[in-house]
Amino acid sequence: MISAALLTLLPVLAHANPVEKRWQAETWVGSPTSNVYPPNGTSVNTALFPPESVVGYAGPTPTGIEPAAIQTASAYPYTQMPAFRWPLVVDQPYDNPSTPFDITQYWGNLSPVYSVNSSIFGLPGASPLVPDQCTITQVHILYRHGARYPTGGSAPAQFAEKLNAAANNGSTWSSWGDLDFLNHWQYGLGAEILTPFGRLQNFELGAGFRVLYGELLNNFTAAGTLPVFRTESGDRMVHTADNFAAGFFGVPDYLTEVNIELMVEANGVNNTGAAYDNCPNANGAPSDIGGTVAKEFAVNAFNSTLARLNSEVKGIQFTPSDAIAMLQLCAYETDAIGYSQFCKLFTSEDYMNFEYYYDLIFWYENGPGSPVSAAQGKGLAEELVARLLHQQITVSDSAVNSTLDSSPILFPVNNSIYADATHEVIVGDTLTALNLTAVFGTEPLSPTQRSNGSVFSTSRVFPFATHLVFQVLECPNMSPSKQGRWILNDGVIPIDQSHPGCPWNKDGLCPLNTIISALQNRLAEIDFNYACNGNYTYGPGNNYGGLAPKS
């Protein structure tokens, strides 16, 4: 639930001067839970409002065949789709009010997910649909939660506190022009849980995967078992898996048609979906490279816009950190309440710089520029290999919870559908552990100048509801016939340069056994204990391949 104990900032008109307006802060004056839904003490009255199973009279309920759109390309042509954002309204950039420019694709990890063309990764002719003469036999889905509120105490809240502090310190600050709305604005975002749009994203993702891969459920029917979908214990992660499963199986059917496993997310507990909780260096200096270089870049990235905004306010001065906070408010408010007046303040150049700000963070913290990223992703990579080999994991030196993974009930290894929910940082760590270099490129990102030609883009790789898919295919026309490939947000990833032994293939295919062997060799390179606990030298401007340097 959304906490109402936060400071609420309420602007009022200044009575001293009818022309100017000023900011005044007031604390919340109601009950601490007065704006929380549902109201305390309420519950659904199932006696007066019984469910379908009690009412009866359901009418005809025959079930049709399961869809398999992923391999019916001729009847289901693949087209690139924009970010899905039906409930959201977004402005055009300040400098480009008429020419289409989708600002939502420049919000970094705050972007809504959108389709990525395989050409971005180097396979211009590849489609996520199953190639001709192949059939899908197994799918592994690693996906991120949908849109959420900002973390507690992050930049948007700090921006609101800055305005509040200025008022409390006796500064009669006022704004006009493009910033006139600040006189009426109040900070009303929650913290960390899914927004309504975020819930919709995960529901839509689940429904989409049912259309694409539903036929694989026939294997569970034949075996007399149910799938196991996994997530973490945090509130937004639980609701992420619930909404995904509800989209996949329907409501309330998912309550009885899938096992949802909640893995404890807490410091010191092994959990592949939250590996940072058992990796000290993931929360220490080695993980700060990205944040450091991003701040350096932001110092001069928004100068012209800051000059314009500071000319429309008095009694307060906006800084590069405030520019980042206002851009974040553009994204968070749009994702949370459907629209944000902050969006119209910034130019297309600002949005590209905002994206690059996040590119620096993630390339150096959860990509190849980090010395600890591969260690954090090692556990999920190990679990993938175990599933492909149909073997339980009883011993591991990574974030694998062997208590869970040694159980064939909690960690099945003979299923045809796997779905794991996690956070964007773990998606990045896993991509690095899997050595999917086509996603990141090889050249370290410059901390001073935006790299326009870089293949890596945070909004493509880490948006809300991002999903990494591994397909296992049976292709009788190929030798060997069992093939595998990687797909990220509809973009097929080439692996001939990253997985030794894999030939170049226009569809991104490689023999499954070759992929398994390459991943096993890669896992052997990742020293989890040293990366997470060791003392080594590191810094920006390096491509570590996600591995801790031996120094």
pLDDT of res. 362:
97
216 pLDDT more than 90: yes
Q: How far apart are CA 522 and CA 504, in angstroms?
A: 19
* Contact between residue 172 and residue 14 where contact means Cβ atoms under 8 Å apart: yes
Neighbours of 482 (CB within 10 A): 16
Q: How far apart are CA 375 and CA 160, in angstroms?
A: 37
pLDDT of res. 97:
75
- pLDDT tens per residue across span 394-410: 999 999 999 999 999 99
- pLDDT tens per residue across span 427-451: 999 999 999 999 999 999 998 889 7
Task: Give the residue, 199 or 71, on which the prediction is more confident.
Answer: 199
- pLDDT tens per residue across span 89-114: 899 999 987 788 999 999 999 999 99
* Contact between residue 483 and residue 475 where contact means Cβ atoms under 8 Å apart: yes
CATH 3.40.640.10 fits 103-148+196-278+363-533, yes or no: no
Neighbours of 119 (CB within 10 A): 13
* Res. 366 pLDDT band, cuts 50 70 90: very high
Burial 519-539, CB ≥16 within 10 A → b, else e? beebbeebbbebbbebeeebe
Q: Average pLDDT, whole number, for the chain?
A: 88
Question: Could you tell me the CA-to-CA distances from 343 to 97, 125, 330, 464 in Å, in that order?
Answer: 12, 35, 5, 18
Give the CA count within 13 Å in the CB-facing half-sphere of 449.
3
pLDDT of res. 85:
62
Q: Which two tokens stand for residue 303?
A: 């100068």
- pLDDT tens per residue across span 127-140: 999 999 999 999 99
pLDDT of res. 83:
56
Q: How far apart are CA 270 and CA 375, in angstroms?
A: 13
* Res. 31 pLDDT band, cuts 50 70 90: very low
* Res. 43 pLDDT band, cuts 50 70 90: confident
Phi, psi of 400 (to 5 degrees): -60, 135
DSSP state of 10: -
212 pLDDT more than 80: yes
Neighbours of 89 (CB within 10 A): 10
3-class DSSP state for residue 421?
Answer: strand
Q: Measured at the alpha carbon of residue 433, what is the angle toward residues 431 and 436, in degrees to the nearest 5? A: 45
Q: Return the domain boundaries, the chain.
A: 103-148+196-278+363-533
pLDDT of res. 99:
81
pTM of the model: 0.88
**Average of per-residue pLDDT across 498-510:** 97
476 preceded by cis ω (within 30°)? Answer: no
Phi, psi of 484 (to 5 degrees): -140, 160
Task: Give the residue, 528 or 7, on which the prediction is more confident.
Answer: 528
3-class DSSP state for residue 337?
Answer: helix
* Contact between residue 54 and residue 104 where contact means Cβ atoms under 8 Å apart: no
3-state SS, 96-155, equals CCCCCCCHHHHCHHHCECCCCCHHHHCCCCCCCCCCCCCEEEEEEEEEECCCECCCCCCH
In 481-550, at which residue ranges do the beta strands (DSSP E only) sit?
A: 482-488, 491-493, 510-511
Q: How far apart are CA 374 and CA 377, in angstroms?
A: 5
